[in-house]
Amino acid sequence: MNINLQIHKKHSQVILGITLRYARLKANLSLRDLSELANISHTFIANIETGKVVANSETLRDLFAILHIEYRDDETLISEFTERYNRVFNNLYMDRLERTLDDISILEAEEEKYLNSIVIIDYSLLRFLHAAISDSMTSYLRQNLDLLKRVSSLLSEEQQQVKFLIFGIDAYNHGDYKRGYEMLLQARKIGNASIDPLINDYVIRCEVKMFMFMDAQQLADQTIDELEADINYMRAMKVRLSIAYSHMLLHKYDAVDLYLDKVCHYGTEFNELSLLDQCHSIRAVSYLLQKRYQDVERTVNLVVHDNPISLIVKMDVAAYQGNIDRVREMYQHAMQDVILVHHKRDQMFFTLVAHTLQAYVLEETVYVAKLEELIDFTKAHMDLELLMFAYDLLIVYYRQSRHYKQALELSEQARGIRSFGQLNS
């Protein structure tokens, strides 16, 4: 796959209007506010913003002066930007985030120039896509993403596709698998089919979380073939990790090892530490579910840079060894992690795990309330793995407190969720 962005000056009229509208919204001005400042009809300004009319140079100069912008659509800027855009997008597709850093830094440093030019939309979409894939969406970017939603009706089909992809990945990052799945399917329906393997990578991740295991397996087989035909081995390995995780949830441990062995071999041969860390983390959970405690400790200690999965396993190992102080220390470390701070779902999960391991004490009413909150959250977002976790803990609590009727009702609900065929229907 080789992205080759084309900027067509014939669309400059529409893009100019988007630039004007984006700048107006960013300045928190209504159409009537700008109309009064420029002494121009607000209807005429609205038509400029939607590309329906072309204003004369004097009118545009007045509007841009009020908004403090200088619009550019020269070939020098277009050529410079498209070269950088293509390189960043292709590296994102190939899952080579480290290769995007220099280009992204340069784009950020020259943001004002791009936001006031014909490339405003493509620049913004690239920044948002990078932030979504790297899970580094800042409050500033999110605020600008909200502004983009308000001009989305003016986007081309290819731009709409990237927009849906961004929304889908961002929703996935925040544990909203239902919305993420819906957005990703929208992205797959339109635009450039050559980026479908990237979209499908995240579709598969959502399907695994929603227990759509058969769908995930079928799409993964197709996507791995497409990625490897495109010599995109890194992302193909990420897809294999998703399927290994799905087999772990199904307790098919031989299949887990089969997929992880392939990924670990690739990671070792090409020194891909992030892949190896994920491999070791998933394998450690697999061993934990099989109660192979010595293998759990040996495997999780191979993780170089901890992730939420490895931290949970290490907390379990420390608790198994009776080192509650160590569990508490890791819990506090997790709750201060940059990623977890912005992910409500993970924070709730870690707090409940710490409580069950006796490293963090919750009052009984607070404990039940947190479980019920997690159930509501995961139901709404189709996070069936954590939903089952919350159900299991609440069922145990009701049984121990002799609330057998509530325990039975929850057990029936959980049994329905575990019926994978029902979930896939």
422: pLDDT confidence band, cut at 50, 70 and 90?
very low
CA 303/CA 284 separation, integer angstroms: 10
CA 361/CA 285 separation, integer angstroms: 24
State yes or no: pLDDT of 418 exceeds 70.
no
Note the pLDDT tens digit of each residue in 46-74.
Answer: 888 877 777 776 787 788 889 888 878 88
Residues 6+ apart with CB under 8 A from 152: 160, 163
Phi, psi of 232 (to 5 degrees): -105, 70
Residues 261, 282 contacting (CB under 8 angstroms): no
* Other C-beta atoms lying within 10 Å of the C-beta of residue 423: 16
Strand ranges in 30-111 using DSSP code E only, listed in sequence order: none
Helix (H) and strand (E) counts in the chain:
25, 0
Residues 6+ apart with CB under 8 A from 213: 207, 246, 249, 250, 420, 424
State yes or no: pLDDT of 189 exceeds 70.
yes
**How high is the pLDDT of residue 219?**
99
> How much is the average pLDDT of 118-135?
94
Percent of the chain with pLDDT over 90: 70
Closest C-alpha to 130, from 107, 155, 158: 107
**Residue where the block lists tokens 């490339």:** 119
Residues 305, 332 contacting (CB under 8 angstroms): no
CA 126/CA 4 separation, integer angstroms: 13
Task: Give 413's DSSP letter.
Answer: H
Percent of the chain with pLDDT over 70: 95
Closest C-alpha to 351, from 340, 128, 235: 340
Distances (CA, A) of 421 to 121, 213, 214: 42, 9, 9
CA 118/CA 125 separation, integer angstroms: 13
Q: Which residue has the higher pLDDT, 412 or 235?
A: 235
Average pLDDT, the chain: 91
**Residue where the block lists tokens 């506010």:** 33
Closest C-alpha to 370, from 386, 395, 348: 348
Task: Give 40's DSSP letter.
Answer: S
- Lowest-pLDDT range, 22-26, 213-217, 256-260? 22-26
**How high is the pLDDT of residue 120?**
87
Residues 396, 355 contacting (CB under 8 angstroms): no
**Residue where the block lists tokens 């499908």:** 200
**Residue where the block lists tokens 């290769």:** 99
State yes or no: pLDDT of 200 exceeds 90.
yes
**How high is the pLDDT of residue 370?**
95
- Lowest-pLDDT range, 108-112, 140-144, 150-154? 150-154
Domains plus CATH for the chain?
A: 9-73 (1.10.260.40), 334-424 (no CATH)
421: pLDDT confidence band, cut at 50, 70 and 90?
very low
Note the pLDDT tens digit of each residue in 17-29.
Answer: 777 888 898 889 9
**Residue where the block lists tokens 């399927």:** 243
Closest C-alpha to 97, from 66, 129, 64, 124: 129
Residues 130, 104 contacting (CB under 8 angstroms): yes
The two structure tokens encoding residue 198: 């990237």
**How high is the pLDDT of residue 116?**
83
> How much is the average pLDDT of 404-424?
74
- Lowest-pLDDT range, 70-74, 127-131, 351-355? 70-74
Say whether pTM exceeds 0.75. yes
> How much is the average pLDDT of 297-322?
95
β-sheet bridge partners, residue 117? 72
